[in-house]
Amino acid sequence: MKKNRKNLALLLLAASLLAGCAGQSNSQSSQSSQAKSEKKAESKASSKSAAKSAASSAVSSTKSSSSQASSKSAASSSQRADANRMGTLTSQLRVKLPGMLLPAADGLGQGGSNLNIRYTSSSSQNVVYYSVGNSPLALNDSRIASEKPYAVLTEKKNVADASSLINYQEPKTGLPAVKIASNVTGTEEGAAGSTYLQFNQGQWSFVVRASNVQGQKPLPTAQKLLSLYQQYGLPDTAAKSSVQVDVGESLGSLNTVITWAKGSSVYQLKAHSTETAFKMLKSLS
Protein backbone atom coordinates (compact mmCIF):
# COMPACT_ATOMS: atom_id res chain seq x y z
CA MET A 1 0.00 0.00 0.00
CA LYS A 2 2.79 2.39 0.96
CA LYS A 3 4.58 1.44 -2.17
CA ASN A 4 1.51 2.34 -4.25
CA ARG A 5 1.21 5.71 -2.53
CA LYS A 6 4.86 6.43 -3.18
CA ASN A 7 4.44 5.58 -6.86
CA LEU A 8 1.33 7.80 -7.05
CA ALA A 9 3.25 10.70 -5.52
CA LEU A 10 6.04 10.25 -8.01
CA LEU A 11 3.52 10.20 -10.88
CA LEU A 12 1.88 13.39 -9.61
CA LEU A 13 5.30 15.13 -9.30
CA ALA A 14 6.24 14.11 -12.83
CA ALA A 15 2.91 15.36 -14.16
CA SER A 16 3.45 18.69 -12.39
CA LEU A 17 6.92 19.06 -13.85
CA LEU A 18 5.65 18.27 -17.34
CA ALA A 19 2.87 20.87 -16.97
CA GLY A 20 5.42 23.50 -15.86
CA CYS A 21 7.66 22.80 -18.82
CA ALA A 22 4.73 23.00 -21.21
CA GLY A 23 3.66 26.35 -19.72
CA GLN A 24 7.17 27.75 -19.99
CA SER A 25 7.41 26.58 -23.61
CA ASN A 26 4.06 28.21 -24.42
CA SER A 27 5.20 31.41 -22.71
CA GLN A 28 8.45 31.48 -24.68
CA SER A 29 6.56 30.76 -27.89
CA SER A 30 4.16 33.60 -27.09
CA GLN A 31 7.03 35.99 -26.35
CA SER A 32 8.79 34.96 -29.56
CA SER A 33 5.61 35.53 -31.56
CA GLN A 34 5.14 38.93 -29.93
CA ALA A 35 8.74 39.91 -30.66
CA LYS A 36 8.31 38.88 -34.30
CA SER A 37 5.15 41.02 -34.54
CA GLU A 38 6.93 44.00 -33.00
CA LYS A 39 9.89 43.62 -35.41
CA LYS A 40 7.50 43.37 -38.35
CA ALA A 41 5.71 46.54 -37.21
CA GLU A 42 9.03 48.33 -36.75
CA SER A 43 10.15 47.19 -40.22
CA LYS A 44 6.93 48.51 -41.77
CA ALA A 45 7.28 51.84 -39.95
CA SER A 46 10.93 52.09 -41.03
CA SER A 47 9.98 51.34 -44.64
CA LYS A 48 7.27 54.00 -44.57
CA SER A 49 9.69 56.53 -43.05
CA ALA A 50 12.36 55.74 -45.67
CA ALA A 51 9.80 56.02 -48.46
CA LYS A 52 8.57 59.33 -47.10
CA SER A 53 12.17 60.62 -46.77
CA ALA A 54 12.99 59.51 -50.33
CA ALA A 55 9.86 61.19 -51.65
CA SER A 56 10.71 64.39 -49.76
CA SER A 57 14.28 64.28 -51.10
CA ALA A 58 13.01 63.76 -54.63
CA VAL A 59 10.63 66.71 -54.33
CA SER A 60 13.43 68.88 -52.88
CA SER A 61 15.80 67.81 -55.67
CA THR A 62 13.15 68.55 -58.29
CA LYS A 63 12.52 71.99 -56.80
CA SER A 64 16.28 72.70 -56.66
CA SER A 65 16.74 71.60 -60.28
CA SER A 66 13.75 73.68 -61.30
CA SER A 67 15.12 76.71 -59.43
CA GLN A 68 18.57 76.31 -61.03
CA ALA A 69 17.04 75.92 -64.47
CA SER A 70 14.92 79.01 -63.85
CA SER A 71 17.98 81.03 -62.73
CA LYS A 72 19.99 79.91 -65.77
CA SER A 73 17.06 80.74 -68.04
CA ALA A 74 16.69 84.19 -66.48
CA ALA A 75 20.44 84.86 -66.79
CA SER A 76 20.41 83.69 -70.39
CA SER A 77 17.42 85.92 -71.17
CA SER A 78 19.14 88.88 -69.51
CA GLN A 79 22.32 88.30 -71.54
CA ARG A 80 20.30 88.11 -74.75
CA ALA A 81 18.51 91.34 -73.85
CA ASP A 82 21.86 93.07 -73.15
CA ALA A 83 23.32 91.82 -76.43
CA ASN A 84 20.23 92.89 -78.33
CA ARG A 85 20.40 96.36 -76.76
CA MET A 86 24.06 96.81 -77.77
CA GLY A 87 23.39 95.33 -81.21
CA THR A 88 20.45 97.64 -81.87
CA LEU A 89 22.30 100.80 -80.85
CA THR A 90 25.47 99.80 -82.73
CA SER A 91 23.47 99.19 -85.91
CA GLN A 92 22.04 102.70 -85.61
CA LEU A 93 25.51 104.12 -84.98
CA ARG A 94 26.92 102.49 -88.13
CA VAL A 95 24.36 104.42 -90.15
CA LYS A 96 25.23 107.71 -88.42
CA LEU A 97 29.02 107.17 -88.41
CA PRO A 98 29.81 105.16 -91.57
CA GLY A 99 33.34 103.76 -91.73
CA MET A 100 34.08 104.14 -88.01
CA LEU A 101 35.29 101.05 -86.16
CA LEU A 102 32.76 100.17 -83.44
CA PRO A 103 32.60 97.45 -80.74
CA ALA A 104 29.83 94.85 -80.92
CA ALA A 105 30.14 94.02 -77.19
CA ASP A 106 29.36 96.49 -74.39
CA GLY A 107 32.10 94.98 -72.17
CA LEU A 108 29.83 94.97 -69.12
CA GLY A 109 29.19 92.15 -66.70
CA GLN A 110 25.69 93.41 -65.95
CA GLY A 111 23.44 96.41 -66.55
CA GLY A 112 23.60 96.16 -70.33
CA SER A 113 19.81 96.29 -70.65
CA ASN A 114 20.01 99.97 -69.57
CA LEU A 115 22.94 100.75 -71.85
CA ASN A 116 22.75 104.19 -73.41
CA ILE A 117 24.86 105.72 -76.20
CA ARG A 118 25.33 109.24 -77.42
CA TYR A 119 27.77 110.60 -79.99
CA THR A 120 29.15 113.75 -81.54
CA SER A 121 30.50 114.02 -85.06
CA SER A 122 32.45 116.56 -87.10
CA SER A 123 34.71 116.55 -90.13
CA SER A 124 37.76 115.95 -87.94
CA GLN A 125 36.53 113.47 -85.31
CA ASN A 126 33.78 111.20 -84.03
CA VAL A 127 33.23 110.59 -80.31
CA VAL A 128 30.95 107.88 -78.88
CA TYR A 129 29.95 107.83 -75.19
CA TYR A 130 28.80 104.60 -73.53
CA SER A 131 26.92 104.79 -70.21
CA VAL A 132 24.42 102.88 -68.07
CA GLY A 133 21.33 104.77 -66.93
CA ASN A 134 18.19 104.09 -64.92
CA SER A 135 16.33 103.16 -68.09
CA PRO A 136 17.12 102.55 -71.78
CA LEU A 137 16.97 105.74 -73.86
CA ALA A 138 17.02 106.37 -77.57
CA LEU A 139 20.36 106.93 -79.30
CA ASN A 140 21.59 110.48 -78.58
CA ASP A 141 18.72 111.28 -76.22
CA SER A 142 19.59 114.61 -74.55
CA ARG A 143 19.23 113.06 -71.07
CA ILE A 144 22.22 110.75 -71.66
CA ALA A 145 24.59 113.73 -71.32
CA SER A 146 23.96 113.72 -67.55
CA GLU A 147 25.12 110.09 -67.21
CA LYS A 148 28.76 109.28 -66.44
CA PRO A 149 30.24 107.30 -69.33
CA TYR A 150 32.01 104.07 -68.49
CA ALA A 151 33.77 104.17 -71.87
CA VAL A 152 34.50 106.79 -74.56
CA LEU A 153 35.62 105.86 -78.08
CA THR A 154 37.18 108.59 -80.24
CA GLU A 155 38.19 108.55 -83.88
CA LYS A 156 40.41 111.37 -85.11
CA LYS A 157 40.21 111.45 -88.89
CA ASN A 158 42.80 112.29 -91.56
CA VAL A 159 45.69 112.48 -89.11
CA ALA A 160 49.04 113.49 -90.65
CA ASP A 161 51.25 112.51 -87.68
CA ALA A 162 49.75 109.65 -85.68
CA SER A 163 52.77 109.28 -83.37
CA SER A 164 52.10 112.65 -81.73
CA LEU A 165 48.69 111.39 -80.56
CA ILE A 166 49.57 107.81 -79.68
CA ASN A 167 52.38 108.45 -77.15
CA TYR A 168 54.16 105.14 -77.69
CA GLN A 169 57.04 104.55 -75.23
CA GLU A 170 60.23 102.92 -76.46
CA PRO A 171 61.68 100.23 -74.15
CA LYS A 172 63.75 101.86 -71.38
CA THR A 173 67.31 100.96 -70.44
CA GLY A 174 69.37 101.72 -67.35
CA LEU A 175 66.34 101.48 -65.02
CA PRO A 176 65.51 98.89 -62.32
CA ALA A 177 64.09 95.73 -63.91
CA VAL A 178 60.80 94.27 -62.67
CA LYS A 179 59.69 90.74 -63.50
CA ILE A 180 56.01 90.85 -64.57
CA ALA A 181 55.72 87.25 -65.78
CA SER A 182 58.10 84.34 -66.37
CA ASN A 183 58.96 85.66 -69.84
CA VAL A 184 58.12 89.37 -69.50
CA THR A 185 60.27 91.96 -67.76
CA GLY A 186 59.56 95.65 -67.42
CA THR A 187 61.30 98.70 -66.04
CA GLU A 188 60.31 100.98 -63.18
CA GLU A 189 61.00 104.63 -62.47
CA GLY A 190 59.67 107.30 -60.14
CA ALA A 191 58.67 110.85 -61.03
CA ALA A 192 56.47 113.58 -59.57
CA GLY A 193 55.07 111.48 -56.71
CA SER A 194 54.28 108.51 -58.96
CA THR A 195 55.89 105.20 -59.94
CA TYR A 196 55.76 104.15 -63.58
CA LEU A 197 56.09 100.51 -64.60
CA GLN A 198 56.58 99.90 -68.33
CA PHE A 199 56.79 96.82 -70.53
CA ASN A 200 56.55 96.31 -74.30
CA GLN A 201 54.89 93.62 -76.42
CA GLY A 202 55.14 93.75 -80.21
CA GLN A 203 53.94 97.11 -81.51
CA TRP A 204 52.50 98.07 -78.11
CA SER A 205 53.95 99.86 -75.09
CA PHE A 206 52.22 99.38 -71.73
CA VAL A 207 52.66 101.91 -68.92
CA VAL A 208 51.10 101.63 -65.45
CA ARG A 209 51.16 104.66 -63.16
CA ALA A 210 50.77 104.27 -59.39
CA SER A 211 50.42 107.10 -56.88
CA ASN A 212 53.07 107.06 -54.17
CA VAL A 213 50.97 109.41 -52.05
CA GLN A 214 48.12 106.89 -52.00
CA GLY A 215 50.48 104.01 -51.34
CA GLN A 216 49.70 102.30 -54.64
CA LYS A 217 51.89 99.62 -56.25
CA PRO A 218 52.03 99.25 -60.04
CA LEU A 219 53.05 95.57 -60.30
CA PRO A 220 49.65 93.87 -59.57
CA THR A 221 47.95 96.11 -62.16
CA ALA A 222 50.73 95.47 -64.69
CA GLN A 223 50.34 91.70 -64.20
CA LYS A 224 46.58 91.94 -64.72
CA LEU A 225 47.15 94.13 -67.79
CA LEU A 226 49.52 91.58 -69.32
CA SER A 227 47.04 88.77 -68.60
CA LEU A 228 44.20 90.65 -70.31
CA TYR A 229 46.40 91.36 -73.32
CA GLN A 230 47.28 87.68 -73.61
CA GLN A 231 43.62 86.69 -73.26
CA TYR A 232 41.90 89.25 -75.51
CA GLY A 233 44.64 90.78 -77.65
CA LEU A 234 44.45 94.32 -79.06
CA PRO A 235 43.45 95.81 -82.45
CA ASP A 236 45.68 95.13 -85.44
CA THR A 237 47.87 98.14 -86.15
CA ALA A 238 50.87 98.78 -88.35
CA ALA A 239 51.90 101.76 -86.21
CA LYS A 240 53.40 101.70 -82.75
CA SER A 241 50.55 102.03 -80.25
CA SER A 242 50.06 102.47 -76.51
CA VAL A 243 48.18 101.38 -73.41
CA GLN A 244 48.26 103.59 -70.33
CA VAL A 245 46.62 102.63 -67.04
CA ASP A 246 46.37 104.55 -63.78
CA VAL A 247 46.03 102.22 -60.77
CA GLY A 248 42.50 102.22 -59.34
CA GLU A 249 39.14 101.81 -61.04
CA SER A 250 35.99 103.82 -60.34
CA LEU A 251 32.91 104.79 -62.29
CA GLY A 252 33.67 107.73 -64.56
CA SER A 253 37.41 107.64 -63.85
CA LEU A 254 38.33 106.42 -67.38
CA ASN A 255 41.75 105.38 -66.02
CA THR A 256 42.52 103.03 -68.92
CA VAL A 257 43.56 104.71 -72.19
CA ILE A 258 44.30 102.64 -75.32
CA THR A 259 45.44 104.46 -78.48
CA TRP A 260 46.25 103.05 -81.93
CA ALA A 261 46.23 103.94 -85.62
CA LYS A 262 44.09 102.45 -88.37
CA GLY A 263 44.61 103.81 -91.85
CA SER A 264 44.57 107.60 -91.69
CA SER A 265 42.60 107.58 -88.41
CA VAL A 266 43.80 107.45 -84.83
CA TYR A 267 41.47 105.68 -82.38
CA GLN A 268 41.41 106.02 -78.63
CA LEU A 269 39.30 104.10 -76.12
CA LYS A 270 39.07 105.34 -72.55
CA ALA A 271 37.35 103.12 -69.97
CA HIS A 272 36.79 102.98 -66.22
CA SER A 273 37.69 99.26 -66.24
CA THR A 274 40.68 97.77 -68.06
CA GLU A 275 38.86 94.47 -68.60
CA THR A 276 35.84 96.28 -70.05
CA ALA A 277 38.14 98.07 -72.49
CA PHE A 278 39.73 94.82 -73.67
CA LYS A 279 36.35 93.12 -74.09
CA MET A 280 35.06 95.99 -76.19
CA LEU A 281 38.16 96.11 -78.39
CA LYS A 282 38.04 92.34 -78.92
CA SER A 283 34.67 92.82 -80.65
CA LEU A 284 35.75 95.82 -82.75
CA SER A 285 34.74 95.84 -86.41
Element (H, E) at 78: helix 2-96
d(CA 129, CA 275): 17
Give the residue, 10 or 163, on which the prediction is more confident: 163
Mean pLDDT value across the chain:
81
Q: What is the DSSP string of 202-236?
A: TTEEEEEEEETTTT--SHHHHHHHHHHHHHH----
**What phi, psi does 14 have (nearest 5°)?**
-65, -40
Q: How many residues does the chain have?
A: 285
- Torsion sign, CA atoms 72, 78, 82, 88: positive
- Torsion sign, CA atoms 120, 278, 206, 240: negative
- Quick: pLDDT tens for 19-72: 443 444 444 444 444 444 444 444 444 544 544 544 444 444 444 444 554 545
- Quick: pLDDT tens for 79-112: 566 778 999 999 999 999 999 999 999 999 887 8
- Quick: pLDDT tens for 103-141: 999 999 887 899 999 999 999 999 999 999 999 999 999
**What phi, psi does 132 have (nearest 5°)?**
-120, 125
Query: Amino acid identity of 214?
Result: Q
- Quick: pLDDT tens for 159-211: 999 998 999 999 999 999 999 999 999 999 998 899 999 999 999 999 999 99
d(CA 18, CA 145): 111
Which of 119, 118, 120 has its CA nearest to residue 133?
Answer: 118
Q: What is the DSSP string of 142-182?
A: GGGGGSPEEEEEEEE-S-S-THHHH---PPP-SS-EEEEET
As to burial, measured by CB atoms within 10 angstroms (0-12 exposed, 13-18 middle, 19+ buried), residue 114 is middle
Please name the residues in contact with 229: beta carbons below 8 A apart, sequence gap of 6 or more. Answer: 201, 204, 206, 243, 278
Q: The pTM is what?
A: 0.73
Query: Amino acid identity of 238?
Result: A
Q: What is the DSSP string of 240-285?
A: -EEEEEES---TT---EEEEEEETTEEEEEEES-HHHHHHHHHTB-
Q: How big is the chain by its Cα radius of gyration, in Å?
A: 41
Dihedral Cα 221, 225, 228, 230, nearest 10 deg: -130
Query: Amino acid identity of 146?
Result: S
